[in-house]
Homo-oligomer: A and B are copies of this chain.
Amino acid sequence: MKSREARRQVIVEGLADHLLKAGLPGASLRPLAKAAGTSDRMLLYYFADKNELLSATLGLVAVRLMALMEGALPGKQPYAILLPRVCEFLDSAPYKPYMRLWFEVLAAASRKTAPFHAIAGQLCDGFLQWTADRLKVDREEDRLPTAALLFATVEGLVLLNTVGRHATVTAALKGASLAKSRQRSH
């Protein structure tokens, strides 16, 4: 009765591991089952169908990512400092699998494919919240807009990193610091 939920939990852990390694293209039932130490038959015994299974797994992945990010970058920093910091640590090894998977989910979500659209939306909100929490602003009413801008910019930069455009990323960061330094010198 209760152990069913527990068993589901254990399975989902294995699925999440595999999903982070292989991504959505490698997320077919048989490989997933193998990674979780069970069979495709059992996956569809514990989950109604592949959608429910993926929803649960991506949910856990989101929880893991948020837990990873929770401890990172303590304190509050202004925009100009936070931008390169976030960009840098999201490009570090532990986050790369998450970022790759994240982009695949986004691509699927852009065609309104269930269940990706909903999940992508939630994760966007979560990440925006996380950004706002770490942001130091002069006026409190600027928090959300500034956090949104930072979020979007980081998103774009991480994306550029994943396709190997590192030079463009550093150029963009230089561009951001340019704007800030000019802001100060005026």
Contact = CB atoms under 8 A, between A and B. Distances in A.
Interface of A: 23-25, 79, 99-100, 103-104, 106-111, 113, 117, 120-121, 124-125, 128, 142, 144-157, 159-160, 162-165, 168-169, 171-176, 178-180, 182-184, 186
Chain copies in complex: 2
B145 A149 contact: no
Contacts of A172: 145, 148-149, 151-152
Contacts of A103: 103, 106-107, 110
Given A145-B172, A146-B178, A171-B145, A121 B165 contact: yes
The dominant DSSP class at the A interface is helix
Nearest to A167: B148
Contacts of A149: 153, 171-173, 175-176, 179
